[in-house]
Amino acid sequence: MTYRTLIGTTVAALFRSATARWGLTSTITLSRCALALLLAPAFLDGQAQAASDKGLRLQFSAQPQPVTVTLSGTVRDKGSGNPIANALVRAHLLIWKNAGPELFEKCPRQETFTSATGEYQIVFVTPLTTVGPRQGQDGLCVYVSADGYETQPQYARRDVTAANSAFPKFDFALNPGKKIHGIVVSPTGQPVSGAVVRVQNSFNGDWNFFGALGQTITGQDGSFQL
């Protein structure tokens, strides 16, 4: 039983080591001797000969643990320094383990409104990228808008990791903005309600996807205002 315990301890150590190194799925091959010591006591009585000479192939899977990512700050008028109440604060996490055609669709996203004192807080609970060439490089983007003000996006200045998951004092100072308004119509001239209208640029794919520069939905008469 002593050998059985020692081998079991060794396998447990291998499991922890492989999990830490690869994070997702790995394979360990055990010799016939290890098989005889790890399985039921009957194998210790000489029945291990039935084991394959190729050994036991042990497969396991370990999913990345969710990480709590928090951000908070204050939204103010840039000129006066006064807090802006009821400003819309939206945020998304760029998780590189989801890289591919659906990268943006799989991005965790949250939104909230500022309090009477202009303060806000957003919390994400999500797995991060822990393996591969982009491990430790996940990103955070926050964008704020308020009636009469510009829409302002900001990227976090450091990557999001399990060790760097708190982003306090993520503050914004907004300038007055200019309103954009219009009507969306169909090819036959009929107003289109429920259409998504976004302000876009030519170099920030995630800003364009999430409407970080401004986004709204047309009303029943097809009209919109940003």
Average pLDDT for 48-75: 73
Q: What pLDDT is stored for residue 24 in this prediction?
A: 45
Q: What pLDDT is stored for residue 85 in this prediction?
A: 98
Query: Do strands 88-94 and 109-113 pair parallel, antiparallel, or not at all (unpaired)?
Result: antiparallel
Regarding whether 91 and 170 lie in a shared domain, the answer is: yes
Regarding whether 131 and 35 lie in a shared domain, the answer is: no
The rounded distance, in Å, linking the Cα atoms of 190 and 192 is 6
Regarding whether 73 and 40 lie in a shared domain, the answer is: no
Regarding whether 122 and 183 lie in a shared domain, the answer is: no
Range list of β-strands (E), the chain: 25-30, 56-61, 67-77, 88-94, 109-113, 119-126, 139-145, 152-155, 166-167, 172-174, 181-183, 196-198, 215-217, 223-225
Residue 175 has pLDDT above 50, yes or no: yes
203 Cβ partners below 8 Å, 6+ apart?
A: none
CA 193-199-201 angle, to 5 degrees, is 145
pTM of the model: 0.65
Residue pLDDT, tens place only, 160-171: 999 999 999 999
Q: What pLDDT is stored for residue 222 in this prediction?
A: 85
| Of 57 and 221, more confident | 221
Torsion of CA 58, 21, 134, 112, to 10 degrees: 90
Average pLDDT for 50-73: 73
**Domain with 194 in it:** 179-226
* 205-208 CB contacts, 8 Å cutoff, 24+ apart: 205/104, 206/92, 206/94, 206/104, 206/107, 206/141, 207/141, 207/143, 207/153
Regarding whether 196 and 122 lie in a shared domain, the answer is: no
152: exposed, middle or buried (Cβ count in 10 Å: 0-12, 13-18, 19+) = buried
Q: What pLDDT is stored for residue 35 in this prediction?
A: 41
Q: What is the CATH number of the domain that holds 89?
A: 2.60.40.1120
Regarding whether 101 and 7 lie in a shared domain, the answer is: no
Q: What pLDDT is stored for residue 178 in this prediction?
A: 76
Helix spans in the chain (H): 2-22, 32-38, 205-210
The rounded distance, in Å, linking the Cα atoms of 220 and 194 is 7
Tokens of 61: 């899977």
Residue 78 has pLDDT above 80, yes or no: yes
Q: What pLDDT is stored for residue 60 in this prediction?
A: 56
| Of 75 and 103, more confident | 75
Please compute, for residue 139, the number of CA atoms within 13 A of its CA located in the half-sphere on the CB side.
14
Q: What pLDDT is stored for residue 3 in this prediction?
A: 42
Regarding whether 120 and 43 lie in a shared domain, the answer is: no
Tally of domains within the chain: 3
Residue pLDDT, tens place only, 189-223: 888 989 887 776 666 666 666 666 667 788 888 88
Q: What pLDDT is stored for residue 53 in this prediction?
A: 56
Average pLDDT for 7-14: 50
Residue 84 has pLDDT above 80, yes or no: yes
Q: What pLDDT is stored for residue 58 in this prediction?
A: 59
Regarding whether 49 and 24 lie in a shared domain, the answer is: yes
Regarding whether 38 and 97 lie in a shared domain, the answer is: no
Average pLDDT for 118-147: 95
Q: Which of 73, 68, 61, 71 has its CA nearest to residue 161?
A: 68
Average pLDDT for 8-15: 51
Regarding whether 185 and 170 lie in a shared domain, the answer is: no
Domain closes at, from 61, 77, 97: 61
Torsion of CA 77, 78, 82, 83, to 10 degrees: 50
